[in-house]
Amino acid sequence: MNAPASRADRVQALLAKRGDLRRTAVLLLGGEGPVWPRARIAVFDAPVDAAAARAWLPPGLRSSDPARATIFVADYPETTFGVAYREAGVLLHAVHRRRPVLHCAWMVVDNDTALILGRELLGFPKKLAEIDFLMDAGSATARVRRGGVSLIAFHMEGAGPRSDREPFTRPIVNARGIPSLLPAVLYRMDVPQRVHEGRRGTMTVEIGGSAADPLDRFGVGKREIPGDAMVADLAVPPAARRSVPPVRPVGLVRPTWLAKHYPERAW
């Protein structure tokens, strides 16, 4: 008996059907189960410079008080859209219409398909980077580099008690658009999550920066801070039965904001 085709094999078969108008719909909406099953994620929350957070947030979002960010590195070994990749990001804690949300200020991946889908469909300002990530039952180590500069590095050894913390604790609101005379659009995305296992421990973290990736402006620097390492499903049915998590427009952003911040989102 032949083994069932993997998700990656099914995606490759769909890609081969050139000229089929249904390909895109099936690729984006035809996934079964979690979009990102059994993702390995290491995450921590850190206080950040309030002025830097305010400057990075689009109009319509207000920084949390005190200003904080969720910083993470993740390994997605399987996805419903057929690619495996790694990802790192900085999500600012914010308030939108009196409700707590996260805003993705910065994100990198190591796969171009994940980059394109994330930028074009969901408004994540993804760029390519080198991402090293190793996680096992008792430790997590990561380093993220772009242009030869270390931007995120952390190590957690001997993780302690079990943790049921979800990796992303609030809905995510992103700005999607291109520099033009037209406004960008704020989109809200809810990502249902299911944690299989998690551990809490103390992380030694160091956040660097460069002209293109000025994460050092957040003022995290080098410190020890509580963090979590977990295995979790992201975009879990029945709330999400598609490769693109449910998103909805929630506002507009003036063109000058996007023009001002586009270099950090693209270079």
What's the distance, CA 6 to chain centroid? 25
Task: For residues 27-37, give the mean pLDDT.
Answer: 76
CATH at residue 261 = 2.40.400.10
**Over 60: is that where the pLDDT of 65 sits?**
yes
Q: Would you say residue 22 lies in a domain?
A: no
In the chain, the number of structural domains is 1
Q: Is 23 part of a structural domain of the chain?
A: no
What percent of the chain shows pLDDT beyond 70? 91
- pLDDT score recorded for residue 72: 99
For 179-228, write each residue's pLDDT tens digit. 999 999 999 998 889 999 999 999 999 999 999 999 999 999 999 999 99
Overall average pLDDT of the 135-161 stretch: 92
31 confidence band (pLDDT: 50, 70, 90): low
How far is the first Cα of the chain from the last one, in angstroms, to the nearest whole number?
50
Please check whether residue 45 lies inside any domain of the structure.
yes
**What pLDDT, on the 0 to 100 scale, is given for residue 245?**
58
DSSP string, 155-209: EEES--SB----S--S-EEEEE--SSSSPEEEEEE---EEEEEEEEEEEEEEE--
Burial of 227 (0-12, 13-18, 19+ CB in 10 A): buried
pLDDT band per the 50, 70, 90 thresholds, residue 45: very high
pLDDT, residue 240, reads: 47
Cα 64–chain centre separation: 19
Is 127 contained in some domain? yes
Least confident of 21-35, 38-52, 112-126, 250-264: 21-35
Asked whether residue 162 carries a pLDDT value surpassing 60, the answer given is yes
Are 228 and 197 in contact, with CB atoms under 8 Å apart? no
Q: What is the rounded CA–CA span in Å between residue 258 and residue 265?
A: 9
Compute the average pLDDT of residues 40-46: 98
Distance CA 206, CA 227 (A): 13
Extract the tokens encoding 180: 């033009």
Look at residue 255 and tell me whether its pLDDT is greater than 80: yes
Do the domain assignments include residue 37? Answer: yes
Average pLDDT (100-118) is: 97
**122: in domain:** yes
Query: Do the domain assignments include residue 15?
Result: no
Residue 9 domain-assigned? no
Domain that holds residue 230: 31-266
- Tens-digit pLDDT profile for residues 8-23: 777 777 777 776 767 7
